[in-house]
Structure 1
Amino acid sequence: MRSDYRLLRLAGPLLLLMLLAGCQSLTGPGDETAELRGTGDLGLVIERASGSVLVVDTTEKTVLGRVEGLGDLSHASVVYSRDGRYGYVFGRDGGLTKVDLLTRSIDQRIEQSGNSIGGAISQDGRYVAVSNYEPGGVKVFDSETLEQVANVPAEYEDEGGETRQSKTVGLVDAPGNRFVFSLFDAGEIWVLDMDTPEPEVTRYEAGKKPYDGLITGQGRYYIAGLFGEDGLSLLDLWNPEEGAQHILSDYGKGEERLPVYKMPHLEGWAIAGDRAFVPAVGAHEVLQVDMESWDLSERIPVQGQPVFVMASPDHRQIWVSFAHPRNDVVQVIDSQTSEIIRTLEPGEAVLHMEFSPRGETVWISARDSNRVTVYDTRTLEKITTLEAEKPSGIFFTSRAHRLGL
């Protein structure tokens, strides 16, 4: 008995060490294990040419690894599960890939259409919706299994009375487990309610050829840009019975007809307090808009055609990127004075910017320089650069807790 007791005393610490070692990892897909850590400071960087993504750490400002095999990422975006562990990557080839950030591997992947243009995740995290060019419409999937739960073909009648299926754009999530999107060919805005016994669609007239859309941070206003006419279409989701309203009638292409690739991304609008800072179309200006009246209040001259106009999390700065050929710089505007306070040179072909969750840094991708540059938003000085293969979109897990992203 005494010898057995001594053996137990000796074995106890060893067993404890084994248990503690086991707590340092968790099981991932298949036989892989993942480091036991939080995901709040992680993110994905799209490598558009190689069909891969980088998993990055915004605290250490490092690359943790690469996940390959995601297909055509030439126009890719990402949304996140509520816990921030999984990123849902929407590829241009219709691929929907669920990436595990902890194991740095593909959890699941499906090809749900021939050509897709982004997606969204529902407020409760149960559904992932994808916006499609080919064959058109929106498909909705279970976020756990990627099994299809709804198909909305976005059908409309053309001028000849034929039933056709529209390209869908500007897909965002809205409060109440709704998705809002625009029909490019039909000139409509649709609201898809996933909380009804069967998915339910409400349709609104929007104007000619809506090409992109955004939803304001509190989830009230959905705004669609119009390619077929000047101005924008605004739907107040608090008062949808009023229908979509035409706003900013001077906003648009005017006399000059520009190709689609020069049209700014509406998701890149900066909302700062009661003002919106908007990239002008066909002009070297950032427009300041009063969000109470939706009137233009100021024009801010900048060095090129803006593409993204993004507010820092504290709304003190407005960061602006530009279209070709002046797409190797980023300009920073003071939101109080509307003055440009710095012009930065992150590299050739700047494509995307993303602020760290609390805004102390901003990450900027430069496709043709094969790098991501991290800046301190207080000093506006470069902190570090990270190598990446033709990087484009940068998406941090903090997006998991924000509407419309």
Structure 2
Amino acid sequence: MIQAILPNRHTLTSSLLLAASLLGAPAWGAAPSAQTETLYQQECASCHGVNRLGGIGPALLPENLSRLRKSEAESVIASGRPATQMPAFGDTLSQQSVTALANFIYQPPETTPVWGKQEILGSHLLPYPDGSLPEEPVYEADLMNLFLVVEIGDHHVTLLDGDRMEPIHRFPSRYALHGGPKYSPDGRYVYFGSRDGWITKYDLYNLKVVAEVRAGINMRNIAVSADGNHVMAANYLPHTLVLFDASNLELMNIIPVENDAGDSSRVSAVYAAPPRDSFIAALKDIPEAWEITVQDDKARVRRMQTDTWLDDFFFDPGYEHVIGAARDGKHGYVINLDTGDTVAELPLPGMPHLGSGITWEYQGKRVMATPHFRTGAVSIIDMDNWDVIKTLETEGPGFFMRSHENSPYAWVDVFFGPNKDKVHVIDKQSLEIVKTLQPAPGKVAAHVEFDRYGEKLLLSVWDKDGAVIVYDADTLEEEKRIPMNKPSGKYNVWNKINYEEGTSH
């Protein structure tokens, strides 16, 4: 059985490069020549798919390359990519050919690609179909205080012991993981979703991939149901939500995402709503939010009309309300999930990153806080009356915010802008910044995750020659650095499966 998670499959094939070199890739926006198409099918389709949808290599479609700037793609073509089979072609291709090739792979196909039931079933991989793996972990550690660290520099994941703060294992991932890994309720399994649409189920006891399936061509994220029985995927391409059996990633249901008029939509994200035993989906192109329940192995959809298009969601602790960010980047809307009614409008200038929002107790009430993508601010909101009680100025637009129930502090980065190498520490009772750290001058500092007890935390130096920094959560003093290749998200098992208030859900 092919273990399709290997990193050397994250490459452009040399045949595509040579085809572009010999024949010349077409100008930006033009259709590829028949000769280029023929060579692609002869030399490249076996790795990247007949319609550039991907296979053992990544999909070569504009949507799937959205994280890679065209100039960066040119650099990869010319210089190769370390830790993969992507060779350097700078000595054999002219700069004009490199640029033309980059234009070629960013062109949309002439016909919309299809990824339906037949394609999903054909992608299903079960390396251990007899379930023969041992029931005990192959290492010793507190299984509830493990971290997974996603290293996007070379598409790997590190399993970290949260007590000793030492790596246990490092393994390759699919290309461009997105949306954060999701754990089974007992913490044994973790599910990864990639931009290319692959869902990977990984056994943290035995350190092995136990199932994979490709849910779509371009996927936003996945969610695991509260009971651990189902996995749902949210797709940009095609416009679908896809339901799987969590035990083996067997296909259960494909849900076309359309309104009553037949207009279809990309799915921005899907979330599990544990108290409701449901999933909540945010739609990109239709002013609706969907709640999906699973009954008799079938997905049932309840559609809620919204006042505008909502791009990002945050839930109150009881999952009675969802807060969505309006497309205009200036407002948030609060929706009662029982009635589907919009009950409040929030002034949130600067496009809030609600998916990174957190909550805590403040003066006898519950507040939520969120950074903003476009302005240097953190908005702090009273969740009883939905008033913004404070807008805290920061040194730049932020991406991630984190805390822990047992910590007096909330941490927020300033990921965007000139001060991206800094991170703020906020006192959750004074609502003031009490310390600003600059752990690696000139390098991005981002994404905090606490251990299960709220005693230690990890912060990423988001660089190829980066590190995960361990801090004491009370003294704010650095304890150690663990070298890693552009570490992005860190995900603690206990915090995630218990929906800890200081981490994203």
Structure 1 length as normaliser, TM-score? 0.83
- Do the aligned residues in 1 keep the contact of 2:239 with 2:267 (CA within 8 Å)? yes
Distance 1:345 1:229 in 2: 29
**Cα gap change, 1:228/1:285 in structure 2, threshold over 3 Å: closer, same or farther?**
closer
Match of 1:98, SS state, is strand
Distance 2:164 2:209 in 1: 24
The Cα offsets for residues 374-402 of structure 1, whole Å up to 9 and x where unpaired, read as: 11110001111112111111111111222
Q: Quote the residue 2:192 is aligned against.
A: 89
Shift, 1:312, TM fit: 2.4
**Matching residue within 445, 454, 476 for 1:380:** 476
- Do the aligned residues in 2 keep the contact of 1:95 with 1:113 (CA within 8 Å)? yes
Q: What residue identity is the alignment partner of 1:191?
A: E
Distance 1:335 1:246 in 2: 24
Q: Quote the residue 2:402 is aligned against.
A: 310
Q: Quote the residue 1:45 is aligned against.
A: 149
**Matching residue within 339, 344, 352 for 2:447:** 352
- The answer as to 2:459 corresponding to 1:364 is yes
Match of 2:406, SS state, is coil
Distance 1:202 1:224 in 2: 17
Q: Quote the residue 1:265 is aligned against.
A: 353
Distance 1:28 1:60 in 2: 30
- The answer as to 2:282 corresponding to 1:182 is yes
Shift, 1:211, TM fit: 1.4
Distance 1:116 1:351 in 2: 24
Higher helix residue share: 2
Q: Tell me how large the CA RMSD over aligned residues is.
A: 2.4
**Cα gap change, 1:242/1:97 in structure 2, threshold over 3 Å: closer, same or farther?**
closer
Match of 1:173, SS state, is strand
- Do the aligned residues in 2 keep the contact of 1:170 with 1:214 (CA within 8 Å)? no
Q: Quote the residue 2:126 is aligned against.
A: none
Shift, 1:310, TM fit: 2.3
The Cα offsets for residues 357-376 of structure 1, whole Å up to 9 and x where unpaired, read as: 11111111222142111111
Q: Quote the residue 1:21 is aligned against.
A: none
- Do the aligned residues in 2 keep the contact of 1:66 with 1:104 (CA within 8 Å)? no
Match of 1:297, SS state, is strand
Q: Quote the residue 2:221 is aligned against.
A: 118
Distance 2:462 2:329 in 1: 32
- The answer as to 2:270 corresponding to 1:166 is no
Shift, 1:74, TM fit: 5.1
Match of 1:392, SS state, is strand
Shift, 1:229, TM fit: 5.7
- The answer as to 2:171 corresponding to 1:71 is no
Q: What residue identity is the alignment partner of 2:349?
A: G
Match of 2:431, SS state, is coil
Q: Quote the residue 1:336 is aligned against.
A: 429
Percent identical among aligned pairs is 26
- Do the aligned residues in 2 keep the contact of 1:215 with 1:222 (CA within 8 Å)? yes
Q: Quote the residue 1:5 is aligned against.
A: none
Distance 1:375 1:50 in 2: 25
Q: Quote the residue 1:220 is aligned against.
A: 320
Shift, 1:246, TM fit: 4.3
**Cα gap change, 1:164/1:49 in structure 2, threshold over 3 Å: closer, same or farther?**
farther
The Cα offsets for residues 273-303 of structure 1, whole Å up to 9 and x where unpaired, read as: 2111222453222122111110111121211
Shift, 1:354, TM fit: 0.9
Question: What are the equivalent positions in structure 2 for 1:289-328 lying under 5 Å apart?
Answer: 289-314=381-406, 316-325=408-417, 326-328=419-421
Shift, 1:334, TM fit: 0.5
Shift, 1:105, TM fit: 2.2
The Cα offsets for residues 319-366 of structure 1, whole Å up to 9 and x where unpaired, read as: 111222322111001111112111112332234221111111111122
Q: What residue identity is the alignment partner of 1:307?
A: F
- The answer as to 2:371 corresponding to 1:279 is yes
Shift, 1:309, TM fit: 2.5
Question: What are the equivalent positions in structure 2 for 1:233-244 lying under 5 Å apart?
Answer: 233-237=333-337, 240-244=338-342
The runs of 5 or more residues in structure 1 that have no matched partner are: 1-26, 254-262
Distance 2:318 2:263 in 1: 34
Total equivalences in the alignment:
362
Q: What residue identity is the alignment partner of 2:192?
A: V
**Cα gap change, 1:327/1:141 in structure 2, threshold over 3 Å: closer, same or farther?**
same
The Cα offsets for residues 83-138 of structure 1, whole Å up to 9 and x where unpaired, read as: 11111011111111111222222222222111111121111110111111111222
Q: Quote the residue 1:136 is aligned against.
A: 239
The Cα offsets for residues 145-190 of structure 1, whole Å up to 9 and x where unpaired, read as: 1011122221136xxx6x3431112321112320001111002110
Q: Quote the residue 2:208 is aligned against.
A: 105
Shift, 1:308, TM fit: 1.9
Match of 1:185, SS state, is coil
Shift, 1:213, TM fit: 1.1
Q: What residue identity is the alignment partner of 1:374?
A: V
**Cα gap change, 1:37/1:328 in structure 2, threshold over 3 Å: closer, same or farther?**
closer
Match of 2:378, SS state, is strand
Q: Quote the residue 1:8 is aligned against.
A: none
- Do the aligned residues in 1 keep the contact of 2:239 with 2:257 (CA within 8 Å)? yes
Q: Structure with the greater relative contact order (CA < 8 A, sep ≥ 6): 1 or 2?
A: 1
Distance 2:142 2:428 in 1: 33
Distance 2:165 2:148 in 1: 12
- Do the aligned residues in 1 keep the contact of 2:287 with 2:305 (CA within 8 Å)? yes
- The answer as to 2:498 corresponding to 1:401 is yes
